[in-house]
Structure formats: C-alpha cells, structure tokens
Structure 1
C-alpha cells in the first residue's frame, strides 16, 4: 500500500476534510467538462492490449494549423483505422513525454463520421493537465502521446477499444461505435523529477526557515531556526515563477516536503514517494489553501503553518506529528489543473 499524502488525509472538524489519498485525482482536478477525455468516470482502465501505431488515415487540418491555434478539420473520409493512427503535425524540441507523466495540453476532439466537435480547450482558454496513466485518461491518449516532445502538435484517431469502449459517452454524444479524432498541442510535461522554474528570492529573515533553491528534481533542504515558531501563517517565495496566480478555488499539481518546526524531522514528501500530488485548495488544511492562494505557477514557496491552520490537537494517526505542531513545507507549484 502506498503511503498517503498527509496534507490530503482526513483532518479534524473545523478544517477541510478529504476522504481520498494524495495519489487519487480530486473532483476538481478532473476536466471541467464531462466530455473531456480526462473525466475519470469516462476513462476506465482498459484490458485491451496495446494498439499498433499506424500513419493514417487522418483528416487534414484546414485552418488553425499552427501550434496553439484552435484547429479546424473535416470529418473523416472512408473507414477509420481499427488501430491507433498517429501523426505529428508540428515536431517540438522540448522534453519527451513518458508513460505516467502529467501532460499539459491544448486539444480538440471530434467524431470521425460526423465531424462533430465534442470538446475543445481552446474556447475555454484553459489547458488540460492530466496524468498519462490507466484510469486517468482514455488509453488512446496514453499511447499516442508517449514519446512525443513538448512543443509538438499531434493528431490521432482513437477507435472505441482505446477510447470510451462499447458504452460510449452519451453525455458527449459519443456512441460505442464511434472513432474519435484528436488534435493535441503538448505544452508541458511533469513527473517526479520536476521542479520550480523562476527567479530566486532573497531569504533574509533569520527567524524563518531557509529552503534550498536546487531545481534538479531532488528534495530541497529546509533549515529551521532554533527560535520560537511564528504565531501566524507564513507563505513566502523561495523561487518566483512567471505563471498565472493560483486562486482559492483552483486545483494544483505540486512537489512538496514537510518537516516539523520543533525537530526539523520530515514527516511527508512527494520526493520520497517519487510521485507528484494533485489536489483542490478547497480540500486541504487551511494553511495550505491560504498560503498558496495568490502565488504564481512555477514557483517554490515556503509555508509555515501554525497549529490552528493545520492539524491542531488531532494530527493524523501514525503521521509522527504531535498535537499542536507547527509545520513547515516547501512547495513547488508545477501547474494549475
């Protein structure tokens, strides 16, 4: 059994409670539209063997041909492939996407036979961030995007076997016999080695913890001073990114490590589990929600959480956190979901 993420464990009355584990996708981390290929209820883990990757057929993009533009393409001509047809329309030069990574992407999806667009992120002006893992996204995405590089535009067709299966997706108007066509712009990829990217910020207050600024994917150090812990919440930049600001209603993808103020002992870490964590800021302890609100994506922050904004007198059983403990976290905000 994998260790639970303590920030997402059940917490005392009066604080936010989340029933799931840190490696489970929160409701708000799913795509906002049920038609999205990432909706968990519509993306069951398939027992089908991996498809063959073939070149076509695929309809040609007739407008919006550049990376990042909303594409337009006709309905499919003739019979679609029974396998996974994949074509790289724009070859990127960034990091290579691997199975299990989180991918940030713009996308459009339509039905082969009718050309009906059932979902696209371009009109929403919001990218999808989703893990390429069984049960998190339809299998066609996993197989089509693994091995592609950031900056690539990829077109692919997905037959039901590696899509929504024989049950289809009624809410999106997708029948169990429909082959789907996607155009995906791969904007970024994140995994357990990802770190913040930005400008180092001076850590001049000797009464506050000092956090390492390494960006090699390894856990940064946290040096806790010997004095008394602050009575109020502290949330400061260590590395300031240049992404959009996080809102209190957002979900985020993060790397983090937590230690106790009194002892400096580590009690939780995504680095130790070698996996990222995603969650809604409405589902974590108040210190996390308040501390991260307004901070920029791409940043590393240090959060010092007093007991009343953390676990108070009822810390999670077996966590190693004593009652009324002040917690210190270093958090890399990798993406908004």
Structure 2
C-alpha cells in the first residue's frame, strides 16, 4: 500500500466495504462512505498574506520550490490563488485529487510532498484533513494552484506532528494543485465500449451522475468471472494494493433485484481492493487492471461472491450470482 499523506487529520475517514447488503437501494446509505459533519464553529478569518515566494516550478502541476518564510506569519489563515483554474468549483465534503508540497514557515523544511509519488485523493471534510485545507480550498476551481499558510490552530494544534518534525508552534506553508474533484453527482468519464454479447448484462452509459440501468438477460449466468468495460477511461490501471473512490450499483442475476448502490445516497464509496478480496473476491479481481475513469460491468459467480453464506435478510441468496456496475472515479 502506498504511503499515507502526513496532512491527513488525526482521525482520517475509514474505507467503506460492501460488508452487508440490504433489501433495497436504501441499504447503501449505511455502507457507502458518509460525509463527515461540518464543524459548527464559524469559519476562520482568511487573509491574503504574507506568503513566501514560489521560486521555481511555477507552472500548474509542476513540483514547486518555495522560499523560507520571512518575519512573522499571519495569525489567520493566509490564502492566495496563484493560478486560477476553470474547472468546477470545489465544495466542502467533496473529494479532491491534488498534488501538493508542504513545508515549515520558519525553516523552509519540506515535510511532505506528492509530486514524486502520486496525487493525493481525500475528502475535504472535517476529520479527513487538517482544517486549513478545508477552509482554504473550498470555493476554489479545479485547475487552480493555491498557496496557503496554515497557523497551528488550523493544522496540528499544540501537539504538532512529531513524525513530520512539526512543532506545536509551527505555521505550515502549502502549495496545492487541484487536479480534480468528485461528489455524489460524479460519473465515469470514459468512452462507450460496444456491449455485443447478448448472454451478458447490458449496462447504461449515462454520465449524469444517476444510476445506470443494468439489464440482466433471461439466461443462465456465466460460471466464471466476467469483467468488461462499459465506458473505458484513460487513467492508470488499478493495482491490487490500491483503494478506489467510486460509484457503484449491484443487482442479483437471478432476480434482477438491486442489493446496494451509491447513486441516490448523496455519498461516494471508498474501499481497498485488498480488503474487498476478503469480502467479495470477484469484485476485487474484476477491478484490478481496469483504468481509472472507466465504468466496468462485473459478473461475480457464487464461489467468488458470498457463496453459501450470504448477508442475512437481504435479496442475495445462497448461490447467487452478482452483477456490479462500478464507476472508477479515482485511485487512492
């Protein structure tokens, strides 16, 4: 599993799994990742500076070099849009995909950065990320570069972060390149792939954030795992040790009844492919190697699903074959 970012809040949001499936679409609301509640405290005052100069790597999504802070930093959150993007506006509780660099104001020491690894994906929500990011990035547009100076009260507090070498009195400087943003209305962005096999389910290709249709043929299900593109994206192929951010819908082949989905819940789902391997093995296996930005139709035979031990009280029975439509929004 790739290294966890140091800027996550002390209690990062957990990864949701499809552990128990209910009778209808309402069941998904308790299983998909919930948006943490917004703090009741008033937003902090935001000022324009002071902020250190970006001395190199000045283009969007280029690894920056930032000068050491001079003088005393502001007591408030200082925020500047260095490059204005033209994408959609980010709102609190959205998930963002970003590259970033963080350093300590007084010393200029870089304590964390993603440009040499892979972009960070996290929820812009209380409990998921330090408060300075929540307040500085809400309202910014995708495609923007934002610089901020975060006082301790909106960072790691009086305790600091010993792992990163951050003291409880340190103001932190970040440069953040907003690459993408996702919410409950997000869909896969790939190109439609012909669905010509009449013996397999046909999945809708709508990209409006609504649940796609899943039409199951009146035929016996395949006995082996099937994983096909419905919309093929152009992102990186998923690896077995990654987690994903997604929209999904699942139905039972034999009855056509849905057992879980995210599209009407106002929430997205996050899960680790390694963890899913222990729950619905076929779902994990069907996603490995598929490209980010895709919609994938996966048929999971009983031996790679719940087999003879289905979740109690639901529409999944012993020996049920499961059909999933999964929109892979981002890899985490």
Q: What TM-score do you get using the length of structure 1 for normalisation? A: 0.87
Contact (CA 8 Å) 2:210, 2:263: kept in 1 or not? yes
| Structure 1 match to 2:297 | 302
What residue ranges of structure 2 are gaps of 5+ in the alignment?
Answer: 1-14, 22-29
Q: Is 1:235 the counterpart of 2:230 in the alignment?
A: no
Picking from 100, 105, 113, the partner of 2:106 is 113
Contact (CA 8 Å) 1:22, 1:279: kept in 2 or not? no
Contact (CA 8 Å) 1:65, 1:71: kept in 2 or not? yes
Contact (CA 8 Å) 1:8, 1:283: kept in 2 or not? no
1:139-150 → structure 2 map (5 Å cutoff): 139-150=131-142
| Structure 2 match to 1:75 | 68
1:283-298 → structure 2 map (5 Å cutoff): 283-284=275-276, 285-298=280-293
- C-alpha displacement of 1:267: 0.8
Contact (CA 8 Å) 1:140, 1:163: kept in 2 or not? yes
Picking from 179, 187, 193, the partner of 1:201 is 193
- C-alpha displacement of 1:334: 0.5
Alpha-carbon spacing, 1:281–1:24, altered in 2? closer, same or farther (3 Å): farther
Picking from 255, 265, 287, the partner of 1:263 is 255
| Structure 2 match to 1:186 | 178
Q: Distance in 2 between matches of 1:253 and 1:333?
A: 6
Contact (CA 8 Å) 1:46, 1:139: kept in 2 or not? no
Q: Deviations over 1:40-82 (max 9, x none)?
A: xxxxx97864211110110010111110111111111111111
Q: Distance in 1 between matches of 2:249 and 2:91?
A: 24
Q: Is 1:23 the counterpart of 2:33 in the alignment?
A: yes
Q: Secondary structure at the match of 1:185?
A: strand
| Structure 2 match to 1:8 | 18
Alpha-carbon spacing, 1:46–1:191, altered in 2? closer, same or farther (3 Å): closer
Picking from 269, 275, 289, the partner of 1:277 is 269
Alpha-carbon spacing, 1:317–1:148, altered in 2? closer, same or farther (3 Å): same
Alpha-carbon spacing, 1:297–1:7, altered in 2? closer, same or farther (3 Å): same
Q: Which 4+ runs in 1 deviate beyond 6 A?
A: none
Q: What TM-score do you get using the length of structure 2 for normalisation? A: 0.88
Contact (CA 8 Å) 1:6, 1:268: kept in 2 or not? no
Aligned residues: 305
Q: Is 1:88 the counterpart of 2:81 in the alignment?
A: yes
Q: Secondary structure at the match of 1:142?
A: helix
Tell me how large the CA RMSD over aligned residues is: 1.9
Q: Distance in 2 between matches of 1:310 and 1:162?
A: 44
1:311-322 → structure 2 map (5 Å cutoff): 311-322=306-317
Report the more deviating stretch, 232-241 or 48-57.
48-57
- C-alpha displacement of 1:320: 2.6
Q: Secondary structure at the match of 1:283?
A: helix
| Structure 1 match to 2:216 | 224
Q: Distance in 2 between matches of 1:77 and 1:136?
A: 30
